[in-house]
Amino acid sequence: MKYLRIKKNADFQKLFRRGKKVFSPYITLLYFPSHSLKMGVAVSKKHGKAVERNRIKRLLRAAFADSSDKLEQPCSVILLPAVRKDYDYAAYKKSLETCFKKVNECRKG
DSSP element (H, E) containing 19: none
Determine the structural domain holding residue 32 and report its residue range. Answer: 4-108
Question: Each residue of 28-43: pLDDT tens digit?
Answer: 999 999 999 999 999 9
Q: Determine contact, residues 77/38, Cβ cutoff 8 Å.
A: yes
* Residue type at 16 in one-letter notation: F
The count of other CB atoms within 10 Å of the CB of residue 109 is 5
pTM of the full structure? 0.92
Mean pLDDT of 45-66: 96
CA distance 52 to 88: 12
Helix crossing, 50-67 with 89-108: angle to 10°? 50
Question: Each residue of 74-96: pLDDT tens digit?
Answer: 999 999 999 998 899 999 999 99
Q: What is the pLDDT of residue 106?
A: 87
CATH of the domain at 94: 3.30.230.10
Number of domains forming the structure of the chain: 1
